[in-house]
């Protein structure tokens, strides 16, 4: 399926999505691609149908969060890979919430895989591919001026609120929300909104119906670690999210 629009309307192309302008400067059109990257784009590939799946999952989860009072950039989903969103000035920060130890946290601290973090850990990373998205300390955040102290506080608070909502939602899907990455931005009125996407690309998700460490993985770690059955895992997440959303 071809991307929407023409090249003159393309605003930005990232690793997983293409952003297009629309006649309304406050509205953008996001197109979800099948491209997959890992390890700061050192590993590249494609996950068949990923764009459709991630667009649909993100739609369900944005709607869930909106209903719970979390403002997001989502407006509508006119196509299976297309999403209209509010134009945001994105903070150059990735806000990561961790409920269980996994990935880089285990490698850098020696914590055992699956170690429960109580309370959840909130981390800020500098969104900069050239620098490999480094972890930022509070003092580095202050020195770099990537957000005001008040904004940093709001981002951390909102991330924990979102975590509470999503943990409850995924638990009802028999899925454990291990950790996830969020991006926020400012709309034209200066309001902080949740942006980007929420999907198996941006979350670590473990199947509660499986005790096997390899088989339980339902997210991009299947691609990162060459575990196989990536498309099937994403599809299972979609099916459970859709079923739970229908109940709600």
In this structure, the answer to whether residues 195 and 142 fall within a common structural domain is: yes
pLDDT in tens, 103-133: 999 999 999 999 999 999 999 999 999 999 9
In percent, the amount of the chain with pLDDT more than 90 equals 92
The rounded mean pLDDT for the chain is: 95
CATH assignment of the domain containing 218: 3.30.470.20
In this structure, the answer to whether residues 124 and 206 fall within a common structural domain is: yes
Residue 5 binned pLDDT confidence (cut-offs 50, 70, 90) = low
Of 68, 49, 58, 27, which Cα lies nearest the Cα of 200? 58
Burial (CB count within 10 angstroms: exposed 0-12, middle 13-18, buried 19+), residue 246:
exposed
In percent, the amount of the chain with pLDDT more than 70 equals 97
Residue 40 binned pLDDT confidence (cut-offs 50, 70, 90) = confident
User: How much is the average pLDDT of 73-100?
Assistant: 98
* Both structure tokens of 174: 């028999």
User: Does any domain span residue 70?
Assistant: yes
Radius of gyration of the chain measured on its C-alpha atoms: 17
In this structure, the answer to whether residues 105 and 215 fall within a common structural domain is: yes
Q: Is residue 8 predicted with pLDDT exceeding 90? A: no
Count of CB atoms within 10 A of residue 202's CB? 21
* Both structure tokens of 151: 């904004």
User: Does any domain span residue 25?
Assistant: yes
- Domain stops at, among 86, 107, 123: 86
User: Does any domain span residue 236?
Assistant: no
- Domain stops at, among 86, 115, 137: 86
Return the exposure string of 41-53: e unless at least 16 CB atoms fall within 10 Å of the residue's CB, then b. eeeeeebeebbbb
Residue 233 binned pLDDT confidence (cut-offs 50, 70, 90) = very high
pLDDT at 3: 57
In this structure, the answer to whether residues 71 and 39 fall within a common structural domain is: yes
CATH assignment of the domain containing 40: 3.30.200.20
Domain count, the chain: 2
In this structure, the answer to whether residues 45 and 101 fall within a common structural domain is: no
Q: Which residue range forms the structural domain that includes residue 155?
A: 89-228
pLDDT at 61: 98
């Amino acid at each position: 399926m071809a991307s929407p629009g023409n090249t003159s309307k393309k605003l930005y192309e990232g690793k997983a999505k293409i952003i297009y302008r629309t006649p309304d400067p406050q509205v953008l059109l996001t197109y979800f691609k099948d491209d997959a990257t890992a390890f700061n784009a050192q590993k590249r590939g494609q996950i068949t149908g990923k764009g459709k799946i991630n667009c649909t999952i993100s739609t369900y989860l944005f709607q869930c969060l909106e209903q719970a009072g979390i403002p997001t950039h989502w407006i509508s989903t006119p196509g299976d890979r297309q999403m209209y969103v509010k134009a945001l000035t994105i903070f150059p920060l990735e806000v990561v919430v961790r409920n269980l130890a996994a990935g880089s946290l285990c490698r850098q601290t020696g914590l055992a895989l699956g170690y429960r973090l109580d309370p959840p850990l909130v981390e800020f990373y500098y969104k900069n591919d050239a620098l490999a998205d480094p972890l930022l300390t509070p003092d580095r955040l202050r020195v770099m001026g990537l957000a005001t102290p008040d904004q940093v506080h709001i981002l951390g608070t909102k991330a924990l609120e979102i975590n509470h909502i999503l943990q409850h939602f995924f638990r009802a899907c028999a899925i454990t929300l291990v950790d996830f990455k969020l991006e926020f931005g400012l709309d034209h009125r200066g309001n902080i909104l949740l942006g980007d996407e929420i999907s198996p690309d941006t979350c670590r998700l473990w199947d509660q119906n499986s005790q096997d460490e390899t088989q339980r993985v339902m997210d991009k770690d299947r691609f990162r670690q060459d575990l196989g059955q990536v498309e099937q895992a994403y599809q299972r997440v979609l099916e459970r999210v859709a079923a739970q959303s229908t109940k709600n």
